[in-house]
Structure 1
């Protein structure tokens, strides 16, 4: 019995186990964050990377065919009171009748004694409505661009919803975390740390120099 106990000592309890060093735990945390944040944000970061290229080359026309349409009609009764336009009624009528989409900015409404206008905008999309104040007759000019223009406007956050603007902010945050955790992992790798930090510094200097030359 005694020899068996000597050959098979009892397992250490949790309290007796030696805790992992702080350095090891920190490295593990950085690695976990780097891997899973990269995977979670992979598609959205890839989207902004690709559209960064298409924004830099507006002459590329692949998938960027523009279509133009024109509609006309007469607004229903109640579209104005005196010289005051009932914009809600106008917008609802145009949307329902001609399937116009996009949002209207606060400065998208214009009117005078002769003509009124309202402009709808969305990513890669614009619809301008021109109304004769005397008769209520109107025309709608719709310009719908192709997929590349839509993606470019999404990249810039142009004429997008507040929700998409949050997506842009979160994407920037994810990319920042991926960069910082990657740098943190490099600091823990002794063999390549000097060369890695020198390379990072050289890249930073190069970017600053290019920014200086571009300004």
Structure 2
């Protein structure tokens, strides 16, 4: 109800020619919260902020690298190509044999960190693709000449951290890290806002800044984003 009163006062003030700042400062806003809840919120806010410190810096820096890829672009990377013989114990090749598939899967996992379950199997070749943060690898097993052809691309450190920021090709464990980070950021934001409730002057100014910044972002989106 207090927030509605503030907004109503703002509307009246604007219609009378009074600035938005004056409207916020003159609007009645009295909120009561218990000391115990404030103490609990302060503890959560402090410890969550420390837990998030490096993560927030990471996401802030990688937000810049993502937004300005030309600043950090590298010359076109040349793929690293390798040719190795298929191990003798995997010959002759029999793609229909379960034991052969199992043994080949172990070899692919140990040598190239690739999963046989994702393989595309044809009559004369087996092909696999593996993607990781900032990396791409393709492997082809030529069943006719008994050779394995591997091509690896590494796009550099910036590409790695950008993929970590986006959660692209990072696996389930990193996805949980991103989800946990999001929950902690929500807690950090809500507890910070809660701590402002008994501080009337700061709360009014904070609401003003929130409205101005959010409104500015909305205007940029409406008028400048294609």
TM-score, with structure 2 as normaliser: 0.72
Question: CA, structure 1 residues 43+105, in 2 after alignment: closer, same or farther (shift >3 Å)?
Answer: farther
Q: Which residue of 2 aligns with 1:207?
A: 217
Q: Aligned-residue CA RMSD in angstroms? A: 2.8
Q: What is the number of equivalent residue pairs in this alignment? A: 191
CA distance in structure 2 between the aligned counterparts of 1:204 and 1:121, rounded to whole angstroms: 38
CA contact (8 A) 1:64 1:149 kept: no
The partner residue of 1:112 within 106, 112, 122 is 122
Q: Which residue of 1 aligns with 2:172?
A: 162
CA contact (8 A) 2:108 2:115 kept: no
CA distance in structure 1 between the aligned counterparts of 2:203 and 2:105, rounded to whole angstroms: 61
The partner residue of 1:48 within 59, 81, 96 is 59
Equivalent residues in 2 for 1:16-31 (5 A)?
A: 23-31=34-42
Shift in Å, 1:207: 2.6
CA contact (8 A) 2:38 2:195 kept: yes
CA distance in structure 1 between the aligned counterparts of 2:75 and 2:212, rounded to whole angstroms: 38
5+ unaligned residues in a row in structure 2: which ranges?
1-31
CA contact (8 A) 2:126 2:141 kept: yes
Shift in Å, 1:188: 1.9
Q: Which residue of 1 aligns with 2:25?
A: none
> Does 2:130 align with 1:123?
no
5+ unaligned residues in a row in structure 1: which ranges?
1-20
CA distance in structure 1 between the aligned counterparts of 2:221 and 2:105, rounded to whole angstroms: 45
> Does 2:90 align with 1:78?
yes
Q: Which residue of 2 aligns with 1:178?
A: 188
Question: CA, structure 1 residues 82+52, in 2 after alignment: closer, same or farther (shift >3 Å)?
Answer: closer
CA contact (8 A) 1:63 1:148 kept: no
Question: CA, structure 1 residues 168+141, in 2 after alignment: closer, same or farther (shift >3 Å)?
Answer: same
The partner residue of 2:107 within 72, 78, 93 is 93
CA distance in structure 1 between the aligned counterparts of 2:62 and 2:115, rounded to whole angstroms: 25
CA distance in structure 2 between the aligned counterparts of 1:204 and 1:84, rounded to whole angstroms: 62
Question: CA, structure 1 residues 34+173, in 2 after alignment: closer, same or farther (shift >3 Å)?
Answer: same
TM-score, with structure 1 as normaliser: 0.75
CA distance in structure 2 between the aligned counterparts of 1:90 and 1:125, rounded to whole angstroms: 23
Q: State the SS of the aligned residue for 2:197.
A: helix
Task: Give the structure with higher Rg (CA).
Answer: 1
